[in-house]
Amino acid sequence: MRHIWYTTQTEETQNLAIALAQVLRGGELITLRGDLGAGKTTFTQGLARGLGITKAVKSPTFTLIREYQGQALKLNHMDLYRVEDQYEELGLEEYFNQQESVTVIEWPEQMGAQIPDQHLDLAIRLTPDGDREIEVNARGTIYEALLTKWLGQLEGGEHEG
Ligand code: ADP
Ligand code: MG
């Protein structure tokens, strides 16, 4: 199952993420693909806001992982851009089964086949006219249900973030 949005403004991308945050229940894995400057961290900032995180979310490019406590759920934000062989030691897979957390990974390509099969995958691309194409692919039935809820949340047009 797949869906594509186009956004012109930073806030539009964040509003999509805020709506997603409203339908997360914990234990979800979200991967964010796209070039530098595509909007992966921007999306994560919206997600954080939607989860009730007030602390500023910065790209964890050098730290690889940052953790933030939200109202009900924790956000694990990973950026694997600069990861080389040390990610084995980071024990990233431990984060995937935390039922009270949502895990977001920028540059999931760096983990290759070690990314769990079931997840919500987003690819963000800059279009020739400077907009963003945001393609979401739901991998697995749980994530198909999540995408359906996300679309429903956006239709309702209510962002509690
Ligand atoms: P990445 O994490 O993918 O490297 P960032 O989110 O850090 O990218 O940077 C994206 C930049 O593009 C931000 O400065 C953001 O304000 C800007 N931007 C402009 N338009 C959009 C849009 N429609 N969606 C997301 N970001 C946008
Ligand atoms: Mg980033």
What does the pLDDT average to over 131-147? 98
Determine the pLDDT at residue 161. Answer: 43
Determine the pLDDT at residue 32. Answer: 98
Cα 102 to chain centroid, rounded = 9
User: What residues are in contact with ligand 1 under a 6 Å CB criterion?
Assistant: 7-10, 12-13, 34, 36-42, 59, 106, 132
| Ligand 2 centroid, distance to 143 Cα (angstroms) | 23
Distance CA 5, CA 10 (A): 13
Q: Which residues surround ligand 2, an ion (CB under 5 A)?
A: 40-41, 59, 106
Beta bridge partners of 32: 106, 122
Mean pLDDT of the chain: 92
| Ligand 1 centroid, distance to 42 Cα (angstroms) | 5
Contact status, residue 14 vs residue 42, Cβ threshold 8 Å = yes
Within the chain, residue ranges assigned H as helices are: 10-23, 40-50, 87-90, 93-96, 141-156
pLDDT tens per residue, range 34-92? 999 999 999 999 999 999 999 999 987 777 899 999 999 999 999 999 887 767 777 88
Determine the pLDDT at residue 12. Answer: 98
pLDDT tens per residue, range 149-158? 999 999 986 5
Sign of CA dihedral 12, 18, 22, 23: positive
- Which of 42, 44, 104, 133, when mutated, tests ligand 1's pocket best, judged by the most ligand atoms within 8 Å of its CB? 42
The C-alpha angle with vertex 91 and arms to 63 and 38, in degrees rounded to 5, equals 45
Nearest CA to ligand 1 atom 27: 10
Contact status, residue 134 vs residue 124, Cβ threshold 8 Å = yes
| Ligand 2 centroid, distance to 33 Cα (angstroms) | 10
Nearest CA to ligand 1 atom 21: 10
Q: Is 74 exposed, middle or buried (0-12, 13-18, 19+ CB in 10 A)?
A: middle
Residue 61 corresponds to which amino acid?
A: T
Determine the pLDDT at residue 62. Answer: 75
| Ligand 2 centroid, distance to 105 Cα (angstroms) | 10
**Nearest alpha carbon to residue 82 among 101, 103, 104, 59:** 59
